Amino acid sequence: MHGDPDRTRVLSRRMMMLGLGQVGLLGALIARLYSLQVLESDRYRLLSDENRFSTRLLAPPRGRILDRFGVPLAINIPNFVIQVISERAENLDKTLETLTRLIPLTDQDCQRIRREIERRRSFVPVMVREHLSWEEMVRIQVNFPDLSGVVIEQGLTRFYPLYELGAHVLGYVAAVAEEDQTGDRLLELPGFRVGKAGTERLHDMALRGRGGTYTVEVNAVGRIVKAVDWHEGEAGSDVHLTLDVRLQQFAAERLGLESAAVVVMDILTGDVLTLVSTPSFDPNRFSRGLSATEWKDLLSHPQAPLTNKAVAGQYAPGSTFKMIVALAALEAGVVTPEVRIHCFGSLSLGNARFHCWKSGGHGTMDLVLGLQHSCDVYFYEVARRVGIDRIAKMARRFGLGARLGFDLPGEQNGLVPERTWKMQVLKEPWQLGETLVAGIGQGFTLATPLQLCTMVARIANGRAQVLPRLSRAPVTNGVRRPDQFEPLGVQPQNIAVVRQGMYAVSNVPGGTAYRARLNQPGLVMSGKTGTSQVRRVTPRERVSGVRKNQNLPWAQRDHALFVAYAPENDPRYAMVVIVEHGCSGSKAAAPVARDIMREVLKLDPARVSTAIVRSTNH
């Protein structure tokens, strides 16, 4: 059996096949090793280096926002952040207990810290609290020996040094939301902030800058061994605004607790020097993060502090619209400055009666007197003669009824009604009575304070369709000339008549704003009062006197308006003041405008800015 030749041949074949298999496997192994160590060595060396070195993004400093003279309105300040590294903490509970005695930490804060420590690797820092004050940071530094595992990092946070002043212009920054993600790696950084409103939002990309990088060497579990390379990012660009912070502050203080808006504008360049909306809010609260209660309080406030009334508030312009009606009629030739209309206190149209604000009537009025006394009956008749379509066309020429392209988010259109608009929107034909109501700036007509200020700026310069702007290049090259705007296309003599009427409003006895005149030698202000109804007055209320504003709840009182320009002999500044539910333009808005205009003329920021430009260029 041991000498069986068949068995021997079978065993030999099996041994040979096994040997060949082993040789094949060994060859494959050698070939793979050759491929890895020789042919692909560069690739795997690169992958090894990429695993050993980690490149991380650095947030750049956000650009500043400055007023026309370089005063900082939005800056960055150091933000001290306290963190804890659990592997370095000898006793985490004792460390947290000590921290609670030094800085405000709630039980919820401590629970959050413990949860994050459990989820992360022991060497990864966990934030305890940010926005530490200098005093809190010093207390922690002094007690460092008892705070094992605690580290303090310093970053930058957005800060608005003027707090509520100019908040609606500046806006605010807040944490990145899901809808903000655009693929920009900066948006993925923890704690990164983006512009959410105002100038911060409009110029967010320029203010954001470009991120830097730093490279560190890490071990197999991701712990940093040492820093290898560091490249600073590019700080965001500064944004220069046309505002004069001195006037901004004065206007806000003059308005006080009123729910109101003020706009002051250079009639030649369009620079907006003051844009105030009250009440305001502190944008610093958004930088650090609002609580749910704080957000709810802002939203439910009856005076809407989050709304920028200067560009987003839409109001019936009231009697401030009468200049537009006058210009439309003069240009169309349906009236002349000498045409007289008698006011008996009301005007009848069919079965309807349209009342003047002065129940006994004004008597015989011409155009200048009609503006001076703000006679409603005079403008009812003028509006009837000129028609709504020509009024609407003139209103648009003076900046009403559409956005002005202002460089601030939230600007509203306003509304200038006409026949085609009503048919398209309301599916109803236009009525003659609606033309009469539009003639005194009521009914469907709406305008923003910014639009009304633009209207007055165009009346005051008399030749150019000046457009408002808020952002500008640095003061050395930021001036615009009137010839850069479209021509106004209105006869100068007609502008002169309307300006004569505005002069009489403020400077001739009997004018509706005579008591609020700017009584200063060489500095004369021309203007127009307006009182805008927010509800329909019934005939019964008109007779009984219940309609009087002081007898009504605040929200049902009329809005008070005043528009003006100065100086009369050499106009440079236009202004609008709107006091919500202020009852009377002559009593609530005109005195505010007078005081602000006095300060404007005293500081004369547009001429100072121009002088700086000229001296720099020479």
Asked whether the beta carbons of 194 and 172 are under 8 A apart, the reply is no
Query: Inter-axis angle of helices 492-507 and 322-332, to 10 degrees?
Result: 150
Q: 3-state SS of the chain: helix, strand, coil percent to 5?
A: 45, 20, 35
Asked whether the beta carbons of 267 and 460 are under 8 A apart, the reply is yes
Q: In the 8-state DSSP scheme, what is residue 143?
A: T
Query: If residue 5 lies in a helix (H) or strand (E), which one and from where to where?
Result: helix 5-34
CA dihedral 198, 202, 203, 208 (to 10 degrees): 80
User: Distance between CA 276 and CA 261 in Å, rounded?
Assistant: 5
Radius of gyration of the chain (CA): 36
Burial environment of residue 514 by CB neighbours within 10 A (0 to 12, 13 to 18, 19 or more): middle
User: Distance between CA 345 and CA 263 in Å, rounded?
Assistant: 34
Asked whether the beta carbons of 500 and 527 are under 8 A apart, the reply is no
Cis peptide before 567 (omega within 30 of 0): yes
Report the amino acid identity of residue 158: R
Query: Inter-axis angle of helices 92-102 and 107-119, to 10 degrees?
Result: 140
Given the residues 259, 280, 287, 319, the one annotated as active site: 319
Asked whether the beta carbons of 103 and 132 are under 8 A apart, the reply is yes
DSSP three-state, residue 455: helix
| DSSP assignment of 189-207 | STT-EEEEEHHHHHTHHHH
Nearest to 521 by CA among 583, 568, 463: 568
- Contacts of 487-492 with CB under 8 Å at 24 or more apart are 487/463, 488/397, 488/458, 488/461, 488/462, 488/463, 488/464, 489/397, 490/327, 490/331, 490/397, 490/462, 491/330, 491/331, 492/462, 492/463
Question: Phi and psi for 147 in degrees, rounded to 5?
Answer: -125, 65
Burial environment of residue 504 by CB neighbours within 10 A (0 to 12, 13 to 18, 19 or more): buried
Q: Which residue has the tokens 């160590």?
A: 37
Asked whether the beta carbons of 169 and 196 are under 8 A apart, the reply is no
Asked whether the beta carbons of 417 and 391 are under 8 A apart, the reply is no
Asked about 319 being catalytic, the answer comes back as yes
CA dihedral 449, 595, 368, 358 (to 10 degrees): 80
Which amino acids are annotated catalytic? 319
